[in-house]
Amino acid sequence: MPRSKNPETSKSTSTAATKAAKAPKATKATNGAPPAKGDGDGDLLQRQHEAMQQLAAARPFNELKAGEHGRDPALQPQAGTPVEPADESATASSVRETVVSIKLGSQAQPGHNPGNESLDRVRVDSGGQALTTNQGVRVADNQNSLKAGLRGPTLLEDFILREKITHFDHERIPERVVHARGSAAHGYFECYDPLDQLTMAAPFAAAGKRTPVFVRFSTVAGERGSFDTARDVRGFAVKFYTDDGNWDLVGNNIPVFFIQDAMKFPDLVHALKPEPHHAMPQAASAHDTFWDFVSLMPESAHMLMWVMSDRAIPRSYRMMQGFGVHTFRLVNAAGESKLCKFHWSPRAGTHSLVWDEAVKISGADPDFHRRDLWEAIEAGSFPEWELGLQIFDEEQAENFRFDVLDPTKIVPEELVPLLPVGRLVLNRNPDNFFAETEQVAFCTAHIVPGIDFTNDPLLQGRIHSYVDTQLTRLGGPNFHEIPINASIAQVHNNQRDGLHRQAIHRGSVSYEPNSLAGGCPFQAGRAGGGFVSIPTPFPATGEGDKLRGKPERFADHFSQATLFWRSQSEPEQRHIAGAFRFELSKVQVPAVRERVVSLLANVDAGLAAAVAEGLGFAVPAPQPRALEPAVESELDSSPALSLLARPGDGGVQTRRVALLVVDGADLASLRAAQTALREAGATPRFVGPRIGPLGADESMAIEMSFEQAPSVLWDAVVLANDAAAARPLSMYGQALDFVKDQYRHCKPILALGGPGGLLAAVNLPLMLPEGEADPGLFVCAPPSETDPALRTDADTVTAFIAGLARHRHFERETDPPRV
């Protein structure tokens, strides 16, 4: 017989679906053309390509950009406008997503995350089923390991034994640093009356509305295996699974705390925990380090009064109060806020143990509170608390003789009476302690629209700390996908990957803004129910201290891009245009290419034209600017922005120079060039067809071969270009490519032995296109008969070294290359 649906979950999910229906209506990405058609497999990729083009073309620019700057947009963020694809393949990961199987299932349901469905999706019942491995293989014998004979050794191949033992060895996870020992239960929060004048938080939206909750009670100091009745603060953490996401009200059974600032939290816990030299005492504050610390922290006095009172030894979790501890803000739909403190008052009243009882119970039943909670729920005596709010404004807060941001202070109920707003009922125990109670992750940063933080310095630290601890305890950033932590509100964002990722996201897009996914998921904006922090006014300026926005002058996106372009040399500008052309030629969606060029049109018309020409389309109209009129930079150009503005000290230290040689080359000329380069600080190496001695002279050898040392690894080249070497070198394609690449890359070239040889073999021009001499090409005349000992032109080698100091000679660069 099928189980009935949880009425609370169904009701909340239905409300969430209603909210989803109010999302901005998607426009259809037709781009003026009907959807692409095609039934054969050969048409699938074409259909996808055309659909992606239509989708991208529907968003020629980011229409939200102009509204990102200034105070007003920060308070009223705009909602994104999704674009519905003309063909669903436009946003698919693969055109083969229609292939189905009992494992694959079918295609993703549009706009739906099944990870936010009820816990029924992960509940397991093995009634009537055979035992299997974790891979689903049925286990024939669960009594014996696989052995070599009945009395022989156990075999390593016993994968069933190994899986079982390995899983067992890893069943425990790190316990919480504090609040390690706890007990929990499921239930609901029921609102008495709508609080729309105070807050737009979903749990308070309507009379009788029930929001599913999971509540965990805990001790603070003790480890996971400690006892329940220690004198200690008790954690009282409530996870509301609201229509607008999870809200965690992470409080205690005492309304104040030991410290005022999160900076001291590690010190407090280190002092409270068992002393590190002998790890005693367990779950107790009655030891030297704790009292040493608090006696030097006078702000702890108030908390010490509470902890030494009977509130620190409650009779039952069902019979203790709960408090949010900090001052929070409630925010209504108009953006108006009030300060608030949260109080849970038990229907069973507040009752405690006496110390002698607590000590004796810890020996008789260490699980006293856990058992009491479990048995009460099993018996149908559901624990219940009333939620009361203390509501006050800044003016009232200023008149108090204490600071409401100080977590060591309460707001007495006589000053601000409690407003009862709803009841908390726990009516179901967990199915599995580890999966639910142990893996649940509470965090003060988990709030929803209608709730906001204050500047309480302890609260601000907790906002970070509670998330941070789960990364270690639960194995990474995806702890929100553990079923007990998953919200019932649909989760759609661009967070990806990480350990233990469960969601399988469809499509290629994991960023916003985008056009390739129709702009989805899009920002909700304020009108769409998106969370907006409330700005706390500074009296001196009237500005808010919490704004998601940018100053107006941030809206100038192009003036310094233009300044950078104008400051580049002609070769650098060619390189920039070429880089854009290369990158965009790899882009498969034409609309994206055109959008980039329309962006560049706001930088420089010449740049946009050069890029568009290389991509085969006319320059589109410039994108609308976020700020009009256009801002002009203070400078027309800044020479310091060019790489060429910093040529260095003119030296050639560490520059790598290849000396291309072969057997029979004029070694005296090569040696002279090598010596001059070394003396200048360069690193010359002989490169040739094979490594080894050069002819009979074993003092000179080829150190690197063409295969291991291609042209791109060298800053310059010296060619053995005399008649005896040039012809055999020109027989090697690697040598010809070496010279071509050195020329194309505008590196210095020194030819020993004249202008022919290898230079002629690759048709290397000796002059620039304008007829001027190439400043990076150096040619030594054939060996001199008048000075056979030198056999090279020292002045030319000196000029080559000076050319090497320049690194490159862009004067010879052409597009396309001449060689």
Helix axes 570-585, 605-615, angle to 10 degrees: 40
How many angstroms separate the first and last alpha carbons of the chain? 81
Rounded Cα–Cα distance for residues 514 and 207 (Å): 40
Q: Cβ contacts of residue 319 below 8 Å, gap of 6+?
A: 346, 348, 349, 350, 351, 352
Asked if the peptide bond before residue 629 counts as cis, ω within 30 degrees of 0, the response is yes
Q: Decide if 745 is catalytic.
A: no
Residue 23 tokens, joined:
């999302």
Rounded Cα–Cα distance for residues 400 and 274 (Å): 39
SS3 content of the chain, % helix, strand, coil (to 5): 35, 15, 50
Residue 172 tokens, joined:
């425990």
Q: List the catalytic residue out of 69, 179, 480, 807.
A: 179
Of 218, 225, 217, the closest CA to residue 179 belongs to 218
For 644, list phi and psi in degrees, rounded to 5.
-70, -10
For residue 720, what are the β-bridge partners? 752
Q: What is the longest distance spanned by two Cα atoms in the chain?
A: 116
- Is 388 in contact with 356 (CB distance < 8 Å)? no
Rounded Cα–Cα distance for residues 161 and 614 (Å): 64
Rounded Cα–Cα distance for residues 492 and 456 (Å): 31
Q: Decide if 179 is catalytic.
A: yes
Rounded Cα–Cα distance for residues 693 and 697 (Å): 7
Q: List the catalytic residue out of 6, 62, 246, 252.
A: 252
- Is 709 in contact with 741 (CB distance < 8 Å)? no
Rounded Cα–Cα distance for residues 31 and 442 (Å): 47
Rounded Cα–Cα distance for residues 506 and 499 (Å): 19
User: How many other CB atoms are there within 10 angstroms of residue 623's CB atom?
Assistant: 20
Rounded Cα–Cα distance for residues 258 and 300 (Å): 4
Q: Among all residues, which ones are annotated catalytic?
A: 179, 252
